[in-house]
Amino acid sequence: MLDLAILGLLQESDLHGYEIRRRLRDSLGLMANISFGSLYPALARLEAQGAVSAIEPGMAPVTGVAMGSLSGELAALRARRSKVVVAKKARKVYRITPLGRELFTRLLEDPSAGDDPRTFTLRLSFARHLAPDVRRALLERRRAQLVERLSEVRSATARNDLDVYARAVVEHTAAGVALDIAWLDGLIAHEGAPQHTSPQSPTAGDTMSSASTSPQG
């Protein structure tokens, strides 16, 4: 799961660990603070597989891509005024390999490679890399899962041995799942409608929001 996230980010630019974490937090906006205890082992794993390769520190061109927006820009500013060349510390910058790109595609498309909510959210975030039919299949699959889950939760709602609080929880859960389904329906409708290449189709634009798919609370 982390592998998918990492490869997806590296797809766009070379990054070092810390920055990957930051982007996971606020570019993807989801995936509440992945811990380093997960991140670094994941990077090591991917490197061992040959899916990413580490650009040795010092070799990395200091200009641009590799640095975090915040730290990078500040460092650049400082460099300009204090005329000290910002010799980057022990940063290990990672770059995706062709093999990594293959792996990314596989993780993104193969349903058997994880089907939990987190993975779905991640896949959807990267859905621009998917062919329209695969994308649609992804949405439909998820929808089916949610429909099943909804009926389970609804049956729990029907129980009469629940006190106020337990009941509040299950009802809230059910409502959440229902809204997720509605949201997916919106997305599916968008997929189905003939795709204009023009950025904004007239009816599009506000069907794209609703409730929580559950990428963390």
Interface residues with a second copy (CB under 8 A) are 25-30, 32, 117, 120-121, 124-128, 145-146, 149, 152-153, 155-157, 159, 161-177, 179-180, 183, 187, 208-217
Q: 126, 104, 129, 124: which is closest to 188 by C-alpha?
A: 124
Q: Which of 86/178 has CB closer to DNA?
A: 86
Q: Rank residues 10 and 97 by Cβ distance to a second copy and give the closer one.
A: 10
Nearest to 55, CA basis, from 16, 18, 22: 16
Instruction: Give which of 119, 122, 140 is closest to 191, Cα–Cα.
Output: 140
**Which among DNA, a second copy, none contacts residue 195 (Cβ within 5 to 8 A by kind)?**
none
In whole angstroms, the minimum distance from the beta carbon of 200 to DNA comes to 35
C-alpha to C-alpha distances, 162 to 151, 156, 158, 168, nearest whole angstrom: 18, 9, 9, 9
Q: Compare residues 56 and 140 and give the one whose CB is closer to a second copy.
A: 140
> What residues make contact with DNA under the rule CB under 7 A?
1-3, 16-19, 33-38, 40-45, 67-68, 70-71, 78, 82, 84, 86-87, 89-93, 116
Give the residue with the Cβ less far from a second copy, 54 or 211: 211
Partner in contact with 28, chosen from DNA, a second copy, none, beta carbon below 5 to 8 Å by kind: a second copy
Nearer to a second copy, 26 or 110 (CB): 26
- Listed in sequence order, the residues at least 6 apart from 20 whose beta carbon sits closer than 8 Å to its beta carbon are 6, 9, 10, 39, 43, 94
Which partner in DNA, a second copy, none is near 70 (CB below 5 to 8 A by kind)?
A: DNA
- Decide which of a second copy, DNA, none touches 179; Cβ closer than 5 to 8 Å per partner kind: a second copy
- d(C-alpha 184, C-alpha 208), whole Å: 9
Min CB(203)–a second copy separation in Å: 14
Are the C-beta atoms of 44 and 2 separated by less than 8 Å?
A: no
Residue 93 or 187 having the CB closest to DNA: 93
| CB of 95 vs a second copy, minimal distance in Å | 20
Tell me the C-alpha distance between 96 and 13, whole Å. 9
Q: Strands (DSSP E) along the chain, which ranges?
A: 15-16, 52-55, 93-96
Sheet holding 52-55, edge to edge: 15-16, 93-96, 52-55
